[in-house]
Structure 1
Amino acid sequence: MSEVSQATSGTRPGSGFRGDVQGLRAVAVLLVIAAHARFDAFDGGFVGVDVFFVISGFLITGLLVREVATTGRVSLLGFYARRARRIIPAATVVLVGTVAASAIFLPVLRTTEIFTDALWASFFAANVRFAVVETDYFATDQPVSPLQHYWSLAVEEQFYVVWPLLLLVLALVVRRRGARGGGGAEMSLRSLALGSLGLLTVASLAWSIWATYDSPATAYFSTFTRGWELGLGAVLAVLLATPVRRRLPRWLLEAAAVVGLLAIAGAVLLYSPQTAFPGYAAVLPVLGAAILLGVGGLPGGERTGVARVLSLAPARVIGDWSFSLYLWHFPVLRIAGAHWGERTLSPLHLVAALGAVVALSALTFYLVEQPFRRGRWWRLPRVAVALYPASVGILLLALVAGNGWVDRRLGVNDDNPAITSADYEGGPERISDDPARALVQASVLAAREGRPVPGTLVPPLRGIRQDTAPLGECDYRTGTTRLCPVGDTDAERSLVVIGDSHARAWTPATNLVGERFGYTAYNLVYSGCPASQAERLDPETKREWPECNDFKQWTLATIAELEPDLVLVSSAALPKVIGLDGSSVVGFTKPRKFRAVQLDGMRRELEMIQALGPDVALLANTPKLPREPGVCLSSGVSDLGGCLFDAGADARRYQKGFAKVARQVGATVVDAEKWFCYQRACPSVVGNYVTMRDSEHMTTAYARTLAGPLAEELGLETP
C-alpha cells in the first residue's frame, strides 16, 4: 500500500526500479477509487487493495533480502526509519485534515466517533477498531467512517512488525550455523526464508478461507486473513532475489502477463460488495498481481506489451502519487457525500470531489512525501523513527482543538427551553388529556412552528449511539444461559421480556414497571434474533443461525420453568428468513412471501407462549425513522422542524400486521406509536428527551418515561 520506488523514470534493467510496478500501483489505486466513487462497472474495484498488498510484500521483502545479502543482517532501526519516512508524514496530514473537515462539515454526532477512529488509526490499529464496530449489531445503520480505509495501512504495518523480526532471526540462525558470507549463506537464508514464508502464507490463506466462511465482517479487516497476500509477494521477492539467467519464450511471457491482467480485471467485473471476501475470492486478484510482478522480474519480462503499457509516463505518475491518492480519496468522497446529503454523488459533485482528491494528493506528494523521503535530516534513523510519537502528538492536538469546536457547536442551543404541553393548551388544536400523548402532540406542533432545539437534551448528543439498554451479565449474545432478575426481585409476581434489540430497548421501561408495580423482571433478549418461529438466517453469514434457534428454544423452556404472570414480546421483521415451504429463503425483495412468513412466525410464537399459561402482550410499532435523530440534531439545524420525520411505512406495515395477529390469538397489543408520533409525524425531541438513539431504538432515558404509560396500557395495578 505504501512502499514505492524512489525512481521517477522508466524501467532501467539492473537499477532495481521497475516502471511496470509503478503502473500496477496506478491500476490498483484507480480501481479502489472507482469502486468507492460508486461507478457501477467497478463494484469489484476493492480488489485493488489486495493488489497493493502483493506489491508491498514484494517490494519490502526485496529490500530486506538485498540488505541481508549485502550486510548479513537486518537493521531494524533502519527498516522502521524507512517506514516512518514513507508512511507517517502523509498519513498524519490526512488524519489531521479529516478530523478538521469532519468537525466543520459533518454532524457533531458523527464527528466525535471519527475522532475515535483517527486515534485508532494513528496507532495502526484501525483494522481492529472497524472489525469490532462491524460485528456490533447496534452499529449496522451507522454511516461509513471517512477513515475506514486506514484498516489496510494497519494490516501492512502489523505485518511488518513481524516479518523483519522473523528475517532477522533466520539470518542469525544462518550465522550460527557457520554459513558466513558467500553463496552458501545466501542460499541457506533463502531456503529458510522460503520455507518459513511459505508455511505462514499457506496457514494465513487457510485461515482466511475459514474465517470468511465463519465471520465475514471481521475477516475482511483481519491481518491474519490478509497476511498471505503480503506473504505471497514476499515469497516472490525471495524467489527472484537470485537472478534468472534462462530466458523464457517471448510468447509465454506475453501470455502470462495477459493472464495476470485478466485475473485482476475478472475479479473487478465479477465481484461486488456482496461477495464473501477475502477467502477463496481473493485468490484471483492476488495471483493476477503476483503473475504480473513475476513476469516483469524475469529476463525480457520488462519488454512485454503489458509491462510497456504499465510503464507509460502517465501510469508512473499515478503510481508515484498512489499513496496520497489512496489516503485522500476516501475521506473526500465520504465527507462530500455526507455534506451534500448524497449516498451516490451527483455527476457535478463527483467531479468536484475527484478534483479535490487529485489536488490534495499532488500537494501531499510534492510538499510532504518527497521532502520527508529525500530530506537529509530525515535520513538519520533516530530522527525518522521519532516521527511515530510526533505524529500521535500532532493528532492529539488536533483532536483537542476539534473537541473544542464540537463543544462550541453543541452549546449554541444552551438557553433554549424544553417543550411542554402547557405551551399549547388553549390553542387551536385540542391537546390530549393523556400527559404522555399530550407532550408528543405539543412536540410535533413545536416542530411545525420551527421552535428552537431545547438546550438540555436527555440524553446528551455526545455518545447517544452508545446509549444501549444495559443487560448486565445476561447479554445472551455471549452464550450465557444464566438469569438476571431485575425490577422488584422480592416480588411474588414476575414478568418476562423476550425478543430482539427492540425488546432490549424496552427493558429500561419494563424494569421500572417491575420495580414500581411489584414484578420480578427477566429480560430474555438477543439482539438480531426476533421472538418468532420464523427461522432467521445469520445476518452476517446468510446461513442457518443455530445460536438464535437455540436461544429461542431456551427462552420458551425458561418461560415454562419461571411460570411468569406476564410475557412481553417485541421484535422487528428482520430478513432473511426460511420460507413457509421450509427450503426457500425470503427477504424484503419478496415482500408478499416475507410478510406471510413473518406473520406466521409471530402467530406460532404467541400461541406457544400462551400455551405455557402467562398473559401475553405485544409491544408493537415503535417507529423506524428515515434518519437518526441525533445525527439530525447535531448537523446544525436551526429549529426542530428540520428533524421532524414521517414514520417509516414499511416497518409500520409489518408492525401493524403483528398487532393484528396478536389480537386474533387473544394477546394484548400495545401500539407504541402514540408515544413517538402524532398524525404520523415523529419529532426527534419530545419535551427535552431525544426519543431514539438511532433510527429505530429508544434511548434508555425516554424508555424510562414510558414506564407509567406502559403499565396503564397493560392495566397493571400496584400489589
Structure 2
Amino acid sequence: MFAVKKIQQFPAPPAPAEPYRHDIDGLRAVAILLVVTYHVWVGRVSGGVDAFLMISAFFLTGSFVRRLERGKPLGIARQWVRTFKRLLPPAAVVLLATLITGFFLFPGSRLPDLFKEIGASLFYSENWLLAFNSTDYYADKASASPVQHFWSLSVQGQVFLLWPLLFLLIGFVSSRTRMSIRGSATAAFGTVFLASFAYSVITTQTRQEFAYFDTGARLWEFAAGALLAVAIPMIRVPRWARGALGWVGITALVTCGMLLDVQGGFPGYLALWPVLSVAAIIVAGTGGEKPPFVTRALATKPVISIGRDAYALYLVHWPILIFSLQLKRGVALTVFEGLAVILLSMLLARGLTWLVDDRLRYAAWTNKNIWRGVVVITASLLLVAGPTATLHWSLQQHERSLRAELASMDPAATHPGAAALDAEANAIVPDRVPPIPFAGELDGEWGALPERCEDQFAMSFEEHGTACSYLPVEEPNLTVAVIGDSHAEQWLAPIEEIALAHNWLTYSFLRGGCALALIDAESSSDPGHSASCNAWLSDVLSEIETLEPDLIISVGTRSPVANEGEATDYGETEHVPDGMETALETMQQNGTPVVLIRDNPRFSFNAYECADALADGDRTIATTVGANQDCGVSRGKALAQENPADVLAQPGIATVDMTDLLCNADSCPAIIGNVFVYLDDNHLTSTYAATMAPALEPRLLEAAHRAMSWE
C-alpha cells in the first residue's frame, strides 16, 4: 500500500522479530480460566476479559508494525477477511446452538430478546445493545442472556476493523515525515490511550453501566497492548527483575477479581490493574535466555493446550451456564454441578476448535484467495441469520393468529383484568383464553403520554436522564404533573384515560430509580433513591414552577422484594422512601397539592416469565422460583398491613391505595383476569394498569379533592 522505497529512506532500521511467544498463549489460558471459574462459582467478574483485550492488541499491533517495517503492503481487506474468517465460524456454530436450545428451553417471553441479541452478537454490536439497555433502568436484569458474553467479542471485532485503518494512517505519516514506523505508532496509540483513558475514567464515574460496554471506554486497553508491542523489542530487563515481574504480574492478575469491584468499577482507572499485570507478565518473558519460572510455566504443553482452546471455551461456557441455571429455575449451581459445567465446556471447546477452527484455518481451499474467505464469512452469517429470522417470523405469526382469534371476542369479557378483583365489577373470567399482552408486545408496555417535551423547558432532559412527555388538551380544567421513577410511570395509562375524561393538561417527569424524595445527606441506604436523584428532582421542581401545576401525582411507598423465604433485599417491610417528607415539605411551601399512590409488590423472580410458562402448562416453575402456585407472592410478604404513606396524609397531601386490585386476601398473583399484571419482576404492564382505570378514577378524584381543598 505504501512504497517500500519511501519507507526505507529513514535511518532507523526495523527491530528484529522476536520468536513466537508461547507463554502468551499460556497467558490466554490463565485469562479464560479466570473468566470461567468466576462466572460459574464466584458469580462476579474477574478481569480476565481485560487481559484478553490487551493480548489481542499486542499480537495484532506487532504483526502490522513488522509488516510496515519490511515495506510490505498492509492488505487491509485481506486482513479483515482473514480475521473474521477465523472468528465467525466458531461463533456462528455457538450462536446457532444457542438459538435452537433457547427456542425450546426458554418461555416465549424471552424469545424476542434472544432473537435481538443473537443478531447483535452475529454482527458484533452486542456491546452497544447491552450498553443502552444497562443505562435503561427499565431493562429486565432478572434473567441473563445466553449470549451476553459476546459483548467483549463485539468490542474486539470493532477494534479489528479500526486497527488496520490506524496503521494506514501510521504508514502515511511515516511515508511523509522523517518519523519511523514505531515512532508514528507510538504517537498514534499514545494519543488513543490518553483520550480513551480520560473518557473511560469520566464515563465510569458518571455512567458506569454504559461505560462497561462502551468501545470508546475500552480502546485504551487495546492501545496499552499496542504500545507494549511497539516497545517490546527495545525493552531489556535483568533476569532477576524479570522473575519478580512475572510473579507480581501473575499474582495481581489472579487476585484482581477478588480485590477489586471489576463489574462495578471498570473500565476506569481500576482496569489498569489487569492491564499492568498482563504487561508485567509479557515483559517478564523477554530476553530469550533463561526465562523466569512464570514464563516457563505458562509455556508448558498443558497450559498451552488450554490457551489453544481459549476462544472456543469463552464462546461455549456462558450459554451452558445460563441454560443450566434455566433448567434449575435460577437456583444456584452446587460445587459439583459447577465443575460439571466447566468440564463440559472444556470438552465442547476442544471439539469446536478441532472441528471448526482447525479445519477452516488450515484448509487449502479457504486460504487460496480472499473471495473464498468472503464465502466462509457469508456462509457463517447466513447459518445464524436465516434460522433466527425464520424463528422470529414463526413467533410473530403465532402471536398474529392469537390476536386474530382475540379480535372476534369482547375484551371486557375475555380479559377483564382488574375487574376480576373489583367487588363492584365482579367480572367473570373465562377459561382457555390466552393471556395478554403477548411476549412480543412487552416493549410497548411502558407507560408514556402521547407527546414528548422538547423546547418547553430550559433543563436538558437528556443530561438528567429524564423522560418528559405530556397530554395536550384545550382549555384544561387542571394542570397535573406526574413525577418520580418507573413506578410512577406505570400509572400513566389509567391516568391518561382519566385526564382525557376530565380535560387535564398532564405532564410526566420521570427518571428510573428516582422517587419523589429530597435527601439531606450525600447518600441514602434506600435503594429507591440516591444522591444523584436529589439534584434531578431539585431541577425538575424548579423547572415546573412555570407550569404552576394544580396537582402532583407520584408513588408514596417502596415495597420490598418479596419471596416465599424470610428475607427481603431491603428492610423488613414496605416503607416511605428516604427524603420524601422533605420533598413534600418543599411542595407544601410552594402551595402544590400532592396525591401519593401506594407501591405495588416486587418479586425475586420474573413474574411475566413465570406466568407465561404457567400459561403454557409448565406447573413446576412457580415452586422452583420461590413463587406461589399462581406465580405470585404472599400478600403479607409483599406489602405492609397498612399503607405506610397514610402517615403523610395532611392538608395538601392525600393517598390512594389500589392494593385490592393487585392482591386478593392472601396472594398477589402474576395473572389477573387473563391479563399479565407484571412485565418483569416489579413493573405493571400498561395493559393491566389500564384495566384499573374505572376503579382508580373515583379514588383519584376523591384524593385530589382532599389534597386541593387544604386551603
Report the TM-score, using the length of structure 2 for normalisation: 0.83
C-alpha distance in structure 1 between counterparts of 2:228 and 2:164, whole Å? 16
Q: 1:680 to 1:499 in 2, by over 3 A?
A: farther
Moved more, 227-236 or 383-392: 383-392
Partner in structure 2 of residue 668 of structure 1: 654
Q: Tell me, what secondary structure is at the counterpart of 2:613? A: coil
C-alpha distance in structure 1 between counterparts of 2:528 and 2:67, whole Å? 49
Q: Amino acid of the residue matched to residue 31 of structure 2? A: A
CA contact (8 A) 1:31 1:48 kept: yes
Q: 1:413 to 1:482 in 2, by over 3 A?
A: closer
2:633 pairs with 643, 646, 649, which one? Answer: 646
Does 2:507 correspond to 1:504? Answer: no
Does 2:226 correspond to 1:234? Answer: yes
Equivalences for 1:128-143 in 2 at 5 Å? 128-143=128-143
Q: Is there any run of 5+ residues in structure 1 with no aligned partner, and where?
A: 1-12, 180-186, 425-429, 576-587
Q: Amino acid of the residue matched to residue 659 of structure 2? A: E
CA contact (8 A) 2:655 2:703 kept: no
Does 2:608 correspond to 1:630? Answer: yes
CA contact (8 A) 1:643 1:683 kept: yes
Does 2:365 correspond to 1:377? Answer: yes
C-alpha distance in structure 1 between counterparts of 2:602 and 2:681, whole Å? 6
Give the superposition deviation at 1:273: 4.9
Give the superposition deviation at 1:505: 0.8
Q: Amino acid of the residue matched to residue 434 of structure 1? A: E
Q: 1:203 to 1:479 in 2, by over 3 A?
A: closer
C-alpha distance in structure 2 between counterparts of 1:230 and 1:670, whole Å? 55
Equivalences for 1:82-93 in 2 at 5 Å? 82-93=82-93
Give the superposition deviation at 1:110: 1.3
C-alpha distance in structure 1 between counterparts of 2:632 and 2:411, whole Å? 17
Does 2:255 correspond to 1:266? Answer: yes
Give the superposition deviation at 1:348: 4.5
Does 2:689 correspond to 1:703? Answer: yes
Partner in structure 2 of residue 341 of structure 1: 329
Cα RMSD between the aligned structures? 3.8
CA contact (8 A) 2:479 2:506 kept: yes
C-alpha distance in structure 1 between counterparts of 2:244 and 2:498, whole Å? 74
C-alpha distance in structure 1 between counterparts of 2:78 and 2:519, whole Å? 60
Residue deviations 1:17-40 (CA, integer Å, cap 9, x gap)? 322111111000000001111337
Partner in structure 2 of residue 214 of structure 1: 206
Equivalences for 1:523-602 in 2 at 5 Å? 523-534=508-519, 548-557=533-542, 561-573=546-558, 591=571, 598=576, 601-602=579-580
Residue deviations 1:251-283 (CA, integer Å, cap 9, x gap)? 222112112112212313212456411111111
Partner in structure 2 of residue 583 of structure 1: none
C-alpha distance in structure 2 between counterparts of 1:134 and 1:352, whole Å? 31
Residue deviations 1:516-535 (CA, integer Å, cap 9, x gap)? 13333232333322112336
Residue deviations 1:66-102 (CA, integer Å, cap 9, x gap)? 2223343211122112202320111111111111111
Report the TM-score, using the length of structure 1 for normalisation: 0.82
2:598 pairs with 620, 643, 655, which one? Answer: 620
Does 2:379 correspond to 1:390? Answer: yes
Equivalences for 1:461-480 in 2 at 5 Å? 461-471=439-449, 472-474=451-453, 477-478=461-462
Equivalences for 1:343-362 in 2 at 5 Å? 343-362=331-350
2:38 pairs with 28, 35, 46, which one? Answer: 35
Moved more, 120-129 or 162-171: 162-171
1:434 pairs with 414, 419, 424, which one? Answer: 424
C-alpha distance in structure 2 between counterparts of 1:276 and 1:346, whole Å? 28
C-alpha distance in structure 1 between counterparts of 2:682 and 2:467, whole Å? 28
Q: Amino acid of the residue matched to residue 598 of structure 2? A: A
C-alpha distance in structure 1 between counterparts of 2:581 and 2:122, whole Å? 51
C-alpha distance in structure 2 between counterparts of 1:376 and 1:51, whole Å? 32
CA contact (8 A) 1:419 1:686 kept: no
Partner in structure 1 of residue 625 of structure 2: none
Moved more, 147-156 or 365-374: 147-156
Partner in structure 2 of residue 183 of structure 1: none
Q: Is there any run of 5+ residues in structure 2 with no aligned partner, and where?
A: 1-15, 455-459, 561-567, 623-628, 706-711
CA contact (8 A) 1:130 1:221 kept: yes
CA contact (8 A) 1:538 1:545 kept: yes
Q: 1:703 to 1:336 in 2, by over 3 A?
A: same
C-alpha distance in structure 1 between counterparts of 2:185 and 2:330, whole Å? 49
Q: 1:194 to 1:402 in 2, by over 3 A?
A: same
C-alpha distance in structure 1 between counterparts of 2:297 and 2:554, whole Å? 64
Q: Tell me, what secondary structure is at the counterpart of 2:552? A: strand
Q: Tell me, what secondary structure is at the counterpart of 1:495? A: strand
Give the superposition deviation at 1:639: 7.1
CA contact (8 A) 1:495 1:521 kept: yes
Partner in structure 2 of residue 578 of structure 1: none
Equivalences for 1:314-325 in 2 at 5 Å? 314-325=302-313
C-alpha distance in structure 1 between counterparts of 2:558 and 2:34, whole Å? 37
Partner in structure 2 of residue 124 of structure 1: 124
Q: Amino acid of the residue matched to residue 335 of structure 2? A: P
Q: 1:174 to 1:479 in 2, by over 3 A?
A: closer
CA contact (8 A) 2:31 2:48 kept: yes
Q: Tell me, what secondary structure is at the counterpart of 2:617? A: coil
C-alpha distance in structure 2 between counterparts of 1:419 and 1:627, whole Å? 29
C-alpha distance in structure 2 between counterparts of 1:717 and 1:295, whole Å? 72
Name the % identity. Answer: 27
Residue deviations 1:82-139 (CA, integer Å, cap 9, x gap)? 2023201111111111111111111221121011011111111111111001000101
Residue deviations 1:313-340 (CA, integer Å, cap 9, x gap)? 1111100000000011111111211232
Residue deviations 1:508-564 (CA, integer Å, cap 9, x gap)? 111111111333323233332211233697999x99967633443355456655454
Does 2:674 correspond to 1:685? Answer: no
Equivalences for 1:111-260 in 2 at 5 Å? 111-176=111-176, 188-241=180-233, 248-260=237-249
Q: Tell me, what secondary structure is at the counterpart of 1:591? A: coil
Partner in structure 2 of residue 584 of structure 1: none
